[in-house]
Amino acid sequence: MSVTTIETPSGAILTQDREMLAIIERLRAIAQTEGAVLLTGETGVGKELLAEFVHQQSSRAKRPLVKVGLASLPRELLESELFGHEKGAYTHAIALKKGLFELSDGGSIFLDDIDDFPLELQAKLLRALEAHEILRVGGTTPIRVNTRLISATKVDLKELVARHAFRADLYYRINVMPIAIPPLRRRNDDIPLLATHFLKHYAPDRLLSLSERACARMRQYSWPGNIRELRNVVQRMCLAESDLIDETELPDEGCSPSQADELAEQCAICRAERDLSLEEVVSCVERKLLKEALAKAGGNQSQAARTLQLSLSTLRDKLRKHHLTNG
């Protein structure tokens, strides 16, 4: 099976998986249009690399691709960061500042974790996308911008729309070209391929390789953190003394059956006895994991997120979904 390799500024996209190859070809075609692109997938599946690929393949490739991690930006600064501010707009606005939409003029803007976009600012984002103009904080004159939106989400935005946590009109505006990125556990053939790539990247002076048993064990693991988790595990594998890495040298915390796997097995028995649907079993497992992680962390959400290998924003979304928080 042939391997496709695509270099982007942040790293390489490697795959021999049929579903991923089809997605890449679809993105190549989408890049030639001007429609907004919405990439949906779990944390760590490579949405940022695919956003870079879309920009590279488009007619805007010579102009900037501005990347914005919405989950990491404080809400009180988001409006100024995206749309800019005029001098004197507020106490610390000592000079005019162009926002990221202005800086991406003629190019593309990548809004990662758009599910974290504050509801109170969504109307202003919609205006920027539909009218192609923005208004700086403290400004009175609209500024024309010509930028293409590529956004990414780790959750189903339709659920947020149903809960009135995301504007329906904005959802339809950004969902012109939707692409669902499969998790790594569905790209079984790509696991050894990517692991070998990361081995060469992190230990270029060594000829490290994986044994067949090591590859088999890695294929059996569910990789909840996806490619990001695989990359981190491979970095630790580079410390192995032998150049041929066997299953006994794989990190226990990275390639062993997880607590999630054990709970899933218990719930499978429960499913047989109680006739639960697959969706109900998955929901049950997720709820148990969340409650146990929070309990062990003494209610500290940041610590619980690290334990579950989730971003803090993803953890909070799941807590709200299972009604485990009042936030």
pLDDT in tens, the chain (327 residues): 688 999 999 999 999 999 999 999 999 999 999 999 999 999 999 999 999 999 999 999 999 999 999 988 888 889 889 998 888 777 777 788 888 999 999 999 999 999 999 999 999 999 999 999 998 888 888 999 999 999 999 988 999 999 899 999 999 999 999 999 999 999 989 999 999 999 999 999 989 899 999 998 898 888 888 999 999 999 988 888 888 988 887 876 556 555 555 555 555 555 455 555 656 767 777 888 888 888 888 888 888 888 887 888 888 888 888 888 754
Same domain, 99 and 174: yes
Query: What interhelical angle do 122-131 and 75-83 show, nearest 10?
Result: 10
The one-letter amino acid code at 286 reads E
Three-state secondary structure along 229-294?
A: HHHHHHHHHCCCCCCEECHHHCCHHHHCCCHHHHHHHHHHHHHHHHCCCHHHHHHHHHHHHHHHHH
Residue 326 CA from chain centroid, whole number: 25
Is 327 inside any structural domain? no
CATH of the domain at 167: 3.40.50.300
> Cα–Cα distance between 248 and 240 in angstroms, integer?
10
> Cα–Cα distance between 84 and 104 in angstroms, integer?
12
Same domain, 269 and 291: yes
Whole-structure pTM value:
0.78
> Cα–Cα distance between 8 and 286 in angstroms, integer?
34
Same domain, 100 and 229: no
> Cα–Cα distance between 111 and 119 in angstroms, integer?
15
| Structure-token match 């488009």, residue found | 58
Same domain, 104 and 144: yes
Rounded alpha-carbon distances, angstroms, from residue 71 to 51, 74, 111, 115, 118: 17, 8, 10, 9, 10
| pLDDT for the residue 262 | 53
CATH of the domain at 248: 1.10.8.60
Same domain, 57 and 140: yes
Same domain, 107 and 164: yes
Same domain, 191 and 145: no
| pLDDT for the residue 44 | 92
CATH of the domain at 315: 1.10.10
Q: How many domains does the chain have?
A: 3
| pLDDT for the residue 277 | 60
Range of the domain at 71: 4-180
Is 108 inside any structural domain? yes
Rounded alpha-carbon distances, angstroms, from residue 305 to 6, 36, 51: 31, 31, 25
Same domain, 139 and 239: no
